[in-house]
Structure 1
Amino acid sequence: MSRPTCARCARPTRHCLCGLIPLLDSRTRVLILQHPSEVEHALNTARLAALGLSNGELRVGEVFEDLSALLARPGHRACLLFPGEGAQPVASAAAEADGQPLLLVVPDGTWRKARKLLHLNPLLAALPRLTLPAGLSSRYRLRKAPMPGAVSTLEAIVCALELLDAPKSYQALLRPFEALIQGQIAAMGDETYRRNHGRHEA
């Protein structure tokens, strides 16, 4: 028998995160394109980001037939948050925006699945690309990062928004993420956590 879940945050009802999810306004519009394989992920940080931003939107799929309409936001300049040839640092894009807010398009999935989204959606691949600063580290202490600087989708969005919409803070978006991590640590027990993951906190 399946456990009852919250229809909004998709967490088990007894572990509902809605009380921790803020509703923040942002000058930058955020469009998250989530690969279907991420929907049932234990963290699903993309969903937390979309719920916490009044100017955020989450779409799930592999091929987005309405992508042209999604990208055509009046008064916004669409950019893709993804590394690649010619990618520009987010901070530089913020300085060159000339008063026009950005539509920040964020693919959500493993690196392989995110690249597949770009391959299946040529309009996405053609967007100007933005990259996060080097040297970032994830707060997700239960998984070793696949590469230096790799962070969750939620952490990437928070970092980008704080650069694009400075000096506004978006740290409140991370509260439910931290609660999820603490809940997982509590479930496994301190001893197991220290034995298997403590070395990553050095």
Structure 2
Amino acid sequence: MPRSCCPRCARPLSHCLCALVPRLSSRTRVLILQHPAEASHALNTARLAALALSNGELRVGETFPGLAAELAHGTYRRCLLFPGAQAMPLAELAQDGRPLQLIVPDGTWRKARRILHVNPSLAALPRVALPEGLQSRYRLRKAPMAGALSTLEAIVCALNILEGDARFDAMLRPFEALIEGQIAAMGEAVYRRNHAGGPER
């Protein structure tokens, strides 16, 4: 029999994270475009990010009808948070007075690139990148490259750069609880053997 889940955070009721999720306002609008394969994942950090931001939105899909027309109108300066040779350091936008909409693909690198490939209006957006040398707290997945962060961590880092250092760190509380809960469920020995790289104790 399937476990009952919280309709808000989608976690099992016994592990609901809603009490830890803050509600924060931001001048920057955040639009997360999540690949469908990530939506039911136990470690769905994009959903936590969207719940925490009053000016945030999560959309699930591979293609997003109507998005191209939406991106062509409005007062926001729109940027894609995604690395690339032409990506601008995000800190350079912190000095820009115009309101910003940050669009964040969510999925594995391959799936995120797929979202860009099938949505040309996204691929055409100017790209921004986070600083180099960042370290993820995501201890349950091996980073595919140096400096790779979970979606929630990347959004927190981006908003802190744009709107004030540490202002959005409260979003990391449910993320840390999520990781700790997964480690507890698998057991310390299994975690150390498969994720921590250390000897069993």
**What TM-score, normalized by structure 2, do the two folds share?**
0.93
Post-superposition offset of 1:192: 2.8
Change (3 A) 1:52 1:72: farther
Counterpart mapping for 1:89-100 below 5 A: 89-95=89-95, 97=96, 99-100=97-98
Superposition RMSD on alpha carbons, in Å? 1.5
Q: Provide Cα deviations, 1:65-91, integer angstroms capped at 9, x if missing partner.
A: 111344356331000001123110100
Structure 1 counterpart of 2:108, from 107, 110, 115: 110
Pairwise CA distance, 1:168? 5.8
* Contact persistence 1:71–1:103 (CA under 8 A): no
CA distance in 2, matches of 1:70, 1:157: 22
Pairs aligned (count): 198
Residues 115-154 of structure 1 correspond to what in structure 2 (within 5 A)?
Answer: 115-154=113-152
Calculate percent identity across the aligned residue pairs: 69
Secondary structure of the structure 2 residue equivalent to 1:27: coil
1:33 alignment counterpart: 33
* CA displacement at 1:199 relative to structure 2: 3.4
Correspondences of 1:62-77 after superposition (within 5 Å) = 62-71=62-71, 74-77=74-77
Give the structure 2 partner of residue 45 of structure 1: 45
CA positional deviation for 1:92 = 1.1
Show the counterpart of 1:162.
160
Structure 1 residue 182 corresponds to structure 2 residue 164:
no
Alpha-carbon distance in 2 for matches of 1:179, 1:4:
19
Q: CA distance change for structure 1 residues 58 and 73 in 2, over 3 Å: closer, same or farther?
A: farther
What residue ranges of structure 1 are gaps of 5+ in the alignment? none
